[in-house]
Amino acid sequence: MPLLHWTIDLPAGYRRDDVLAFHARDTQAVAEQITATGLRKGIVHGGLAVLLDVEFSDTQAICRAGIDGDETAGMRGQLHGALLNILGLRIDPAPFAQLAASDVLLAPLVLRSPGLRIVQSASPFEALTWAIIGQQINLSFAISLRRTFIEQGGRRHSSGLWCYPEAADVAQLNIDDLTSRKFSRAKAETVLRLAQLVDGGQLSLELPASGEVEAISQALLAVKGIGPWTVNYALLRGYGYADCSLHGDVAIRAALQKLLGEESKPDMARTEQWLRQYRPHRTMLAAHLWASLHASA
């Protein structure tokens, strides 16, 4: 089994526990495992089962990728990108912290969670499918559906860990595979539609070299069952885009209500307008608003 190695320097104040907590959401550890020194995550990449194994030191992440098959051209760079995603190293939190330092509302949020980062899914396809799976249901049920989805569409690495599927694998599933396991028909249809479009080449999830997201946002919105919230969540968790507006997120609206000290949650239109003043740093703003809901009084 080919084994690739990386050493990634971690920034000062790196919040390792946040990264571990994100990847520990599924307590059954089907595709992610928290270890004594780091984490392990299984993904399917280029049709091959891959185990990403990360060990943390105080200043570095020592990373390995165990591949069930032969390394392919460009694979090292792509897996390195996946590692940056799952370690939350795509978006530098410093520019938002500098902006917030002089803002009477936001400065206390940043002081409570200095160095907060956005931890991502390993790939845009994982972020998109997770967003679809989690629409309008509670977190524990969403995690249960995700686990089913991985076991049905993914592959098992030789280590025993399951690997999150690629579009090509999901495209081979049929509607009954998912609806028989508690997926709603609409949710199952959207997941399969997305996978089939990506696998068939009608929809590309690759960002242009410019990093502009408008074209891919419009392409995703054209897919039946995918709306603005799903697109923004995917931009955040899948691409590490720094200016996602999460005005459709109920938790963001609840956090804004708490921040403003109001009696009711602002509606989506007002939330969108309020968030707009912090462009192009709305992703980090969302991270701090989410964190504020869990902060001690």
Residue 85 lies in a domain: yes
pLDDT of residue 210: 81
Mean pLDDT value across residues 241-253: 93
> Per-residue pLDDT tens for 66-92?
999 999 888 999 999 999 999 999 999
Residue 81 lies in a domain: yes
The sign of the dihedral angle between the CA atoms of 6, 7, 13, 18 is positive
pLDDT of residue 297: 39
Reported as a pLDDT band with limits 50, 70 and 90, residue 168 is very high
> What are the two backbone dihedrals, phi and then psi, of residue 259, each rounded to the nearest 5 degrees?
-65, -40
Reported as a pLDDT band with limits 50, 70 and 90, residue 266 is very high
Any idea what the CATH number is for the domain that residue 54 is in? 3.30.310.20
Q: Are 87 and 61 in contact (CB under 8 A)?
A: yes
pLDDT of residue 296: 45
- Domain range for 56 is 3-91
Residue 200 lies in a domain: no
Residue 71 lies in a domain: yes
pLDDT of residue 2: 75
Residue 26 lies in a domain: yes
- pTM listed for this prediction: 0.93
Q: Are 243 and 280 in contact (CB under 8 A)?
A: yes
Residue 24 lies in a domain: yes
Q: Using H for helix, E for strand and C for coil, what is the string for 166-209?
A: CHHHHCCCCHHHHHCCCCCHHHHHHHHHHHHHHHHCCCCCCCCC
Out of 2-6, 123-127, 252-256, 274-278, least confident range? 2-6
pLDDT of residue 209: 80
Residue 153 lies in a domain: no
- Please count the structural domains in the chain: 1
User: What percent of the chain stands above pLDDT 70?
Assistant: 99
Residue 181 lies in a domain: no
> Does the pLDDT of residue 216 top 90, yes or no?
yes
